[in-house]
Amino acid sequence: MKHIYTIISISLICSFCTDLEINQKPLTTDIIELESFKRFVTLDGKPSINLTFLVRSQIKKSMIDSTISKFVRQNIDAFSTEFSQIGLSFYKESKITNEKNLRDNPRDLDRYSQENDLLWVYNWNKEKSFMTRTKFKNGKIVNSKSNIRVTDIDSPKH
């Protein structure tokens, strides 16, 4: 009888842990972090980070900007807990800019993706509550907005 209680207890604990793991999954699978491009730097003695994300090709073209904006709005607090400055770069998935190719050929990010697949760059300064948001198309800036609040990220005034 003692063994049955032990087995039931272990089963419940495993079930609880599995539920926690499931609940900690990213908010969206449409945007994934490219871990190998994560860069930690120190600016003025303060920890900073640059993160690179891939926006999956399954997202409708008309929804890409709002999907990225929503992702940043939902995750900025998690990104800014340890770092005084955060850089977030978003690239569209393509034949060259994809997980497998960039893992095998990391230089393609600079050689190809910067000019062809870069969508948005967000820079956040926690101390000054300052953010810049820059939109790119074919390697050129098409829209830049600075000194925006996190609540402004999804404003229709792109």
Q: Are 120 and 142 in contact (CB under 8 A)?
A: no
**What is the secondary structure of 7-51 as a DSSP string?**
HHHHHHHHHHHHHHHHHTS-S-SSEEE-GGG-EEEEETTEEEEEE
Pick left, alpha or beta for residue 2 (phi over 0 → left; psi -120 to 50 → alpha; otherwise beta).
alpha
Global pTM? 0.71
Q: Which residues of 15-53 are buried (b: 16+ CB within 10 A; e: fewer)?
A: eeeeeeeeeeeeeeebbeebeebeeeeeeeeeebbbbbb
Q: Could you tell me the maximum CA-CA distance found in the chain, to the nearest angstrom?
A: 71
Each of the 158 residues of the chain gets a pLDDT tens digit; together they read 544 443 444 443 444 343 333 333 344 578 888 888 888 888 778 888 899 999 987 888 888 999 999 998 888 777 767 788 889 999 999 999 999 999 999 999 999 999 999 999 999 887 767 788 999 999 999 987 765 555 555 544 44
Distance from C-alpha of 112 to C-alpha of 37, rounded to nearest angstrom: 15
The answer to whether the CB of 91 falls within 8 A of the CB of 119 is yes
Tell me which residue of 107, 100, 96, 109 sits closest to 51, measured CA to CA: 109
